[in-house]
Chain A
Amino acid sequence: MEKFEVFRHDIDDISVLNIQGFLDAHTAPDFENELQKLLQEKRYKIIVNLDGLQYISSAGLGVFMGVIEDIRENKGDLKICNAGEKVFKVFDLLGFPSLYEFYPTEAETVEKFKAAD
């Protein structure tokens, strides 16, 4: 069985979810649960670090789409970093770069949040 794992760490009011492995229709609910936990805690500044994500299907992309409205209505954002070439291509095919901010590193993404404060 191909694995999927989510690791969370917080930097002040920013929460980082580092997702690893294979994100498909089977593992998407795990990712969604982690995001929903953040929303329940009213943490709306979210970074999803894709370093270690080897595969994503549209079921995985659907999770990003399912939460973004809620996040932005609460003056937050979900930004994405460290996408590998193969994974980024899938986001790109579906036009995600026009809706979500992508950055090469987590540090840069944190800076973007801090600069907006």
Chain B
Amino acid sequence: MSQNKTKSQKYRLKLPIDTANLDIIREFVAGIAQNIGFDDEDIHRIELAVDEASTNVIRHAYEGQTQNDKFILIEVKTFPDRLEISVIDHGKGFEPDKIKEPEMDAYFKQMKRGGLGLYLIKTLMDKVDYFIKPGVRNRVKMVKYLSL
């Protein structure tokens, strides 16, 4: 990839639903983030946020669904000041309004596992938006700004 900080560029990666593909997804976004100048710490944050969103899709999006083409699509757009990453599926979706920020104390008292991913994504990225159309297109869009 050639370094190009002035123009917006778009990258796409479509993969079958399989946790074995998580490392491919991480390497894909890490490579682009590195190319536009993020430091190692931010690259790690981006990798982890995208891993969490992808893990949610792989584990839950197609539960009980009958589609033949079960995929996860990663779309990355680069801008001079930021990286926008969308994790997309066409599974059953979820209700973003029902996602509450977990109270970690209560969380630990119940020793509850899972569900930490969305909290991490919100903490690691600068902006997170959900666009949910169950069975059609569900998209988690995450933005990370380059520190100047």
Contact with B along A60-75 (1 / 0, CB 8 A): 0111011011000000
Q: Is the CB of B58 within 8 A of A25?
A: yes
Chain A nearest CB from B122 CB (Å) reads: 11
Q: Which residue of B lies closest to A85 (CB)?
A: B41
- A95: B residues at CB distance < 8 A: 104-105, 107-108
A2-B23, A62-B113 are contacts. A25–B55 as well, Cβ < 8 Å? yes
Q: Judge if B64 is at the interface, Cβ distance under 8 Å.
A: no
- A2: B residues at CB distance < 8 A: 23
Interface of B is mostly: helix
Q: Which residue of A lies closest to B121 (CB)?
A: A58
Our count of residue pairs bridging A and B at CB distance below 8 angstroms stands at 64
Interface of A is mostly: helix
Interface residues on chain B, size class: 20 to 34
CA distance A13 to B103 in the complex (A): 35
Q: Judge if B44 is at the interface, Cβ distance under 8 Å.
A: yes
> Which residues 25-71 of A have a CB within 8 angstroms of B?
25-26, 55, 57-59, 61-63, 65-66, 68-69
- B124: A residues at CB distance < 8 A: 93
CA distance A114 to B24 in the complex (A): 43
12 A-B contact pairs sorted by A residue (CB < 8 Å): A25-B22, A25-B59, A26-B20, A57-B48, A57-B117, A58-B52, A58-B114, A58-B116, A65-B108, A66-B113, A94-B104, A98-B108
